[in-house]
Structures are given as structure tokens and as C-alpha cells.
Amino acid sequence: MPRDKFSHVSTWVFDLDNTLYPPSMRLFDQIEVRMTDYVMTELRVDRSEADRLRRHYWKSYGTTLAGLMREHSIDPLPYLQNVHDIDFSVLQPDQLLASRIRALPGRKIVYTNGSAPYAERVLQARGLDGLFEAIYGVEHADFHPKPEARAFDTVFGKARLNPQTSAMFEDDPRNLAVPHAMGMKTVLVGDTPENAEHVHHHTTDLATFLGEIG
């Protein structure tokens, strides 16, 4: 039973985008458009090339921002402010998810490759604000993104997190490899990856899954 697999967990770490809200709400679609626009403006390329670069940087570095910083020395703060200037009204409150998170024993943390102010707005729109002890954004990892090990080391160090008694929930299977290696329980929220031994559990319905382990 899933409940037995999580009896040792006292710290619960949640990714944000497409994890604490479903992809069907399409919030991140807005961000991807703004990312492409930003690449077009900063690198002076057309939309097709900007979209290609956005995808390439995400695949190669973990985030578009990381690629822009490393290959073009882009200032991360204006970028983060720009791409997160979106319409949050597409998000709906989720009372069931809120109650399931609230019922989890121990500490609850959000850790996102977005910015912490952006995460706060998402949580408020979803009715999940006030449930988490801390919210960590990419700025707290010195702008190193998941899935880099140093990003996890930095954020988890600040959180004083014990991986042996922690669980990580993510929609991107790449971002569960390091937590798995650290000894965390890992849960993929979304499609099942092929040959992903670092994913312990999988769900397409976070609230239902939390109800089964809480």
C-alpha cells in the first residue's frame, strides 16, 4: 500500500508548475509564449528560431533561463519578472488538494524553477497559500535550475532537509533523479516515463494520491 511507503516521511517537497495545478489549466503555455518573445527580443531572432532555442535550452540546461544565462549572459531578474507577467485567472481553487496537503504530517515546502513571487501568486490562485512552511524559487539556488545537483544541494541545505525522511513530487522525471540518489521518496505527477528507476511512484491525480498516503 502507498501509505506504508510514506510512513517515514516528515518533509514533503512539491514542485509548482503542472504539479500543484493540472496541465489542463494551461498556465505554463502563457509562460512559454513569453519566453519565446523574450528570446526574440534579446537575441534578435525570429519566432521560429526563438522557439527552437527555448526548447533547446530547456532540454540541455533544465530551463530556458539557464541556457540564456550561460550562453548569452542574460540578467535573470528582468527575465523572471517578464515571463511571469501572466493571467492567473485560468487557475481555479482546489479545496480537496488543499485539505490533503494540510493533512500531511510534518513540513511542507514548495521548490520551483520559477521565482518565489510567482509561486506565491500561483498558490494564492489555487487556494493553497498558507499551507507551506517555505517557498523556494530558482533565485534561492543561485539561479542554478533543477535537475542540477548543486541546485538541490543549495535549496535543501537552506531548508535543512533530511533526504532520508523526505518525499519529492515533480512533473518532470529529470528532476527526480537527484532526489532519488539522495535517498528521497520520489513521485512523478504526470505521464509515466520509460525506464525511470528513479521514480518510485506515479500519479495523474495528486489530490487522490495524497489521500491514499495521508
pLDDT at 1: 55
pLDDT at 52: 96
pLDDT at 24: 93
Start and end residues for every CATH 3.40.50.1000 domain found in the chain: 2-21+93-213
Among the CATH numbers 3.10.290.10, 3.60.15.10, 3.40.50.10800, 3.40.50.1000, which is that of 2-21+93-213?
3.40.50.1000
* pTM for the predicted model, two decimal places: 0.93
Rounded Cα gap, residues 112 and 207, in angstroms: 19
pLDDT at 214: 72
pLDDT at 192: 72
pLDDT at 196: 83
Rounded Cα gap, residues 199 and 9, in angstroms: 16
- pLDDT averages per 10-residue partition of the chain, 214 residues: 87 98 94 96 96 94 94 96 96 98 97 97 98 98 96 98 97 96 96 82 95 87
Start and end residues for every CATH 1.10.150.450 domain found in the chain: 27-83
Q: How many CB atoms lie within 10 A of CB 142?
A: 11
Rounded Cα gap, residues 47 and 41, in angstroms: 10
Give the class (CATH, top level) of 27-83: mainly alpha
